[in-house]
Chain A
Amino acid sequence: MDLILEGLITACKLLWALDPEVLGITWLSLKVSGIATLISVGLGVSSGMVVALTRFPGKKFVVSVVNTGMGLPPVVVGLFVTVFLWRNGPFGFLDILYTPTAIIIAQSVIATPIVMGISIAALQNLPNKLRLQILSLGATRLQMVFMLIREARLPLMAAVMAGFGGVISEVGASIMVGGNIKGYSRVLTTATVMETGKGEFATAFALSIILLFLVFLVNYLFTLIQQRERPR
């Protein structure tokens, strides 16, 4: 119990002092997970829309695969991304293993099925004839897509939040493909694991509190966007 209390006090001191290393790690986490979330939203919403709005043989199978992907273990993703980016791997020539770019790639792979799966469910939950109604109003295909996204904005924002939450809190893939290099590819989760391993609980607590606060802040902003413009 003393250990926890002491850790919390040290954490507060570290935060209050705006430790440059801690700030650097925080900024990198936010940047890496933010970019990965943006990529996953771009890929997940668009591909989710195609799957939800078109009929094709094997659609149920594809949806099942996507739903399975929502629970992809980060270490498995980390393993595959490492193999692909390894010096002798198919993308070894890019020379990006153990860089923040590699973490972005791994986190995008983790978040895309989450965003895609929730997007498919959100769009399939809209009334069947809504698409026809929008087209009958004279909309182009592109206008129809934007109107459908607008109609499904609440669950789609939930998809974004779930995607961001999934990647900012994962550790396995980031440590495997990022290498946890100090001042370069160390993010909040990998740093927390390392500090805990070293017995530096105060620093680990500080990083955890920042991580929690960051997740809360980002989700709060998303929630504000999600809930605005709701007519009475």
Chain B
Amino acid sequence: MSDTILAIDDLKVEFGGVTVLDIPSFCIREKEFVSLIGPNGSGKSTLLLALNRLLKPVSGRLSFRGNEIASRDDALHYRRRVSMVFQEPLLFDTTVYRNVASGLKIRGMGGEEIRERVTKYLACFNIEHLAHRSARKLSGGESQRASLARAFAMEPEVIFLDEPFSALDPPTRHSLTDDLEKIVRETGITTLMVTHDQSEALRMSDRIAVMQDGKIVQSGSPLAVMNNPVNEFVANFVGMDTILEGKVRRQDDGIVSVDVSGKEIDALGAAAPGDDVYCCIRPENVTIELTDPDDLTSARNVFPAVIRDIFSVGPFLKVVLDCGFTLTSFVTREAFAILDLKEGMRVFASFKATAVHLISLRK
């Protein structure tokens, strides 16, 4: 990654005296694709508005390519170099063509240049056939395509996407995500996207930032955030279904043994004996066997368990196990049928020491 294109320092936004955004420092690098994830009300959309200078922070500094955006004039010129797509398409009551051309007209671009740009981006988003249709008569997917084409037609240096696909049905969403990813990769445009869809974030991002209560609590590569969450909240949010509180008993050669409800879990990590920790385990890393796999598996953690509950989660089944502590596992439908799993059945649950992520409880 090269230079920083956008940076904020000590940014604070308040609504009615309540601080809704408090970010000491955050930056986006040139050509980087950053996803912002977090629960509703965590400040993701507010951060996007603040980054686009569409709301005034009570304090803080926003810099674009090293220049501070301070005055109203700075903000206007800055906004003409970036663009934003909202959750709702927010199209104007005119044709798709005129919608896509609107940002270019605002910039006072010439007619021929507008025609070229609009035609190019209508084609990029596969909506050239809708050019002269009223924007009021488009489907949800078509509307969002028009909205994206309008934002990309301005060929901005940074694009902000505020959950642009959240209101779409899954097939439309996947097809639009494919097109967006292709265009972003081709153009190398710096992108900051708010999303609730972790698979979308994992697939497209160079970096994921997790927000909680108006703060960025973790920012890192998708793998780092998914596998090494910094706290219980992030662990929960990124799908670590099993979060167990325990006390470190000993540490040998980087293997930490943690006492959880009287059972010993081995984990790879750094913690001192006596430390209170959370053991976080992703459900896809937990394997279920009918017989004790102790001699056959490389997993360091094997526990006899009873199946307490079984849920369907998309293409998988989520099996809740009682091992003296609660553990969850994702099982494919095929494996589920072969093992003939049922509630109340006695099985063995196993997971590797490397699958356990330790979070220290020390403040």
Contacts and interface: CB of A to CB of B under 8 A. Distances in A.
B90 A138 contact: no
A230 interface: yes
Contacts of A147: 92, 102
Contacts of A229: 94
Contacts of B154: 137-138
A12 B86 CA distance: 60
B76 A136 contact: no
Contacts of B94: 229, 231
B83 interface: yes
A140 interface: yes
Contact of A231 (B84, B95, B106): B95
Contact of B134 (A129, A136, A232): A232
A229 B95 CA distance: 10
B88 interface: yes
A137 B86 contact: no
B80 A138 contact: yes
A139 B82 CA distance: 12
A4 interface: no
A95 interface: no
Contacts of B134: 230-232
Contact of A137 (B49, B83, B95, B160): B83
A135 B52 CA distance: 9
B79 A133 contact: no
Contact of B76 (A133, A140, A232): A140
Contacts of B49: 132
A93 B107 CA distance: 50
A151 interface: yes
Give the interface size bracket for A toward B. 10 to 19
Contacts of A20: none
B150 interface: yes
A137 B93 contact: no
Interface string B115-134: 00000000000000000111
B208 to A, nearest CB: 24
B54 interface: yes
Contacts of B76: 138, 140
A133 B106 contact: no
Contact of A127 (B80, B82, B90, B135): B90
Nearest to B84: A136
B106 A139 contact: yes
A129 B137 CA distance: 20
A69 B94 CA distance: 33
Interface string A113-146: 0000000000000010110110111111001000
B103 A138 contact: yes
A230 B92 CA distance: 12
Interface string A128-171: 01101101111110010001001100000000000000000000
Nearest to B72: A141
A118 B82 CA distance: 35
Interface of A: 127, 129-130, 132-133, 135-140, 143, 147, 150-151, 229-232
In the A-B complex, list the 9 residue pairs whose CB atoms are closest, starting with the nearest: A138-B80, A231-B134, A136-B84, A137-B103, A133-B90, A231-B95, A132-B54, A139-B106, A138-B79
